[in-house]
Structure formats: C-alpha cells, structure tokens
Amino acid sequence: MRLVDHIILETPDFVIVNKPSGMLTLPDRHDNELASLIAIMKKAYGEIFTVHRLDRDTSGIILFARNEAAHKYFSQLFESRDVKKFYLGLVSGQPVPKQGNVSEGIMEHPVQKGKMVANRKGKPSSTDYEVLEEFGLYSLVRMQIHTGRTHQIRVHMKFLGHPIAVDEFYGSPEPVLLSSIKKKFKLGKHTEEERPLLSRLALHASMLIFKDPNGKEYTIEAPLPKDMSALLTQLRKHRGKQPAGGEE
C-alpha cells in the first residue's frame, strides 16, 4: 500500500491514517510475514506509537502518536473515553427500534479461540446505534462505541440479531451479490460467475473527535472505501425492488 494515499492528517504529535480493510494494525503473533500498518508506519516515520487498533477487516481511522509524551497523552485519552468514536456499518435486516443502546458485557468465547461473546459476566461494554437508511435485506447503521472491547460492534450487532454484513465470525461469511438486491439480474454473456459487490466485513471507522495535548479540538472523518460506497449506490438504486423472498 502507498502510505501517502492513506494519510488524513499529520502534526508534530500524531498521524491519522485511513486504514484499508484486510490490513493488520499490529504484527500477527503467529505469522510475521503478514504486512501490518505499524511496520509501514515505522518505516516511514522511525519512531511511532500505537494508541488503539482496528480489526484486520475493518477499514477507517487510526491515530498514531509521534513521541512518548503524545503517546502517554492519547493512551490516557482513549482509556478515559474522552475520544468520540463513530463507525458506519451495513447490518443484516432492519433493526427495531431504529435507535438505541446495547450495554451487554463482552467476554472471550469459552471454546472458540479469538472469538468474543455477549455475556452479563463479561467486561462492561456500551454501543449506541442509529439506523440511517434501510434497504430491506440490509440497513446502513451509525454506531458510537463508548468502550473499546475486542470485536465490540460485531458482537453487539449480533446480540441485536442484526450482525454486520459479511462477518464470518458473528454473522454470515457470504459476500453481498448484486443478484440478491436486483430483481431482474442477469449475468453478462461472457461472465461465468458473478463478482461480489462486497466480500469483506462491512464496517468502517468513519469519525474521531478528540482534543490534542494543547487543547485544540479535532473532528476527523474518513470517507467510505470504494467497495462499501459502490455497494450503497446499488442498494439505493434497487431499494424496494428486491427478488422474491428478499424482504425480511
């Protein structure tokens, strides 16, 4: 990846990057060959510090600190929940009510390694959600997380009964196909197989609001990646015209 294409803002204290989906934030403990964003950042900046992270398949905003003082400041800021974190995601179905909060605790899955579950005995977790648009099979939802648990949004949306689209852990791994949202879909003459509109987790860290060490407030936004944006265009175009059995 060309780092320069993904940098949103750079100051003497921090760098904000729009992470592509599929890229690890930190190196994989079991596979050092996999590319990680922190390794690319270290190559470009030398000294750089991780403050928070995103799941591998989640795209969007990540803030890195550029010196030890900034690292300490931002780590405390995230820990004390003085950073507002907003995400956009496509979920399966249509959540009711259209706006609400999920405060179910989150803990590690007792059997499946690397998977989390909603459980009252888990760590306290809080996610606000608001449905922005409905498309029958899917809904575009904005989430604000008040805690930073592993897979928090994915676990909480599953708990609601509306998992994030293309989530192999907490929902269905099936990609989103145009044939599932367009009524009279036909493959092109020379096409044997339909290409998915989206074949990765439909979750994007879209906005961060915080104050820097000097008290200056920032509202940082990262536009939706091309694949999610193209899918939304198709969903809007074919809204209400889904194939039979497509309605929930």
CA angle 47, 49, 54 (to 5 degrees): 135
Respond yes or no: is residue 55 known to be catalytic: yes
- The 3-state DSSP class for residue 160 equals helix
CB 191 within 8 A of CB 179: no
Helices (H), 9-103: 37-45, 68-79
Terminal-residue alpha carbon distance, the chain: 39
Report CA-CA distances (Å) from 188 to 153, 175, 191: 37, 19, 5
For strands 127-134 and 116-118, give the pairing: unpaired
**From the candidates 28, 31, 55, 167, which is the catalytic residue?**
55
CB 53 within 8 A of CB 76: no
Q: What are the start-end ranges of the E strands in 114-201?
A: 116-118, 127-134, 138-145
Active site residue ranges: 55
